[in-house]
Amino acid sequence: MESVDIREMSGLALAYLGDTVWETQVRLYWVKKGFNISHLNYKVKKFVNAKAQSHYYQLLKEELSEEENAIMRRAKNANIRSFPKSCSNQEYREATAFEAILGAWFLQGEIDKIQAFANRILEKE
């Protein structure tokens, strides 16, 4: 993978990537568990939404380095132009921050961090 300086990337670009990274991790976890398609969709929706991701943001922010928290702050404070009605603006901003750190980890090759966090969350289910 080409080297990218994540400090120069926008928080929203990192979140855009992180959204896919998170959904892929969640889907992969449940597919490996052997669920059929209708159950897969139900399971994935439960973990891939702004309210849930806002909660994951709260869990992660205490565990991260100052540099990682700076990435999340940058995404959380980004100029987001529209918000869904399914959550509060604050929850959406926190979900964006959560996705941004996943995008950053992905670009840094920290797949093990992503998988460890996903497993920690998903195994509680």
Catalytic residue among 9, 12, 14, 19: 19
Q: State both tokens at 101.
A: 């750190």
Q: What is the pLDDT of residue 1?
A: 54
CA distances to 28, 37, 44, 51, 78 from 55, in Å: 21, 26, 16, 7, 19
The model's pTM is 0.90
pLDDT at site 52: 95
Task: State the pLDDT confidence band at 89, using cuts at 50, 70 and 90.
Answer: confident
| Confidence label for 84 from pLDDT (cuts 50, 70 and 90) | confident
Active site residue 19: yes
Instruction: Give the tens place of pLDDT for each residue, 13-56.
Output: 999 999 999 999 999 999 999 988 888 988 899 999 999 999 99
**Domains in the chain, start-ordered, CATH in brackets?**
7-123 (1.10.1520.10)
Please determine, for residue 112, whether its predicted confidence score (pLDDT) is greater than 60.
yes
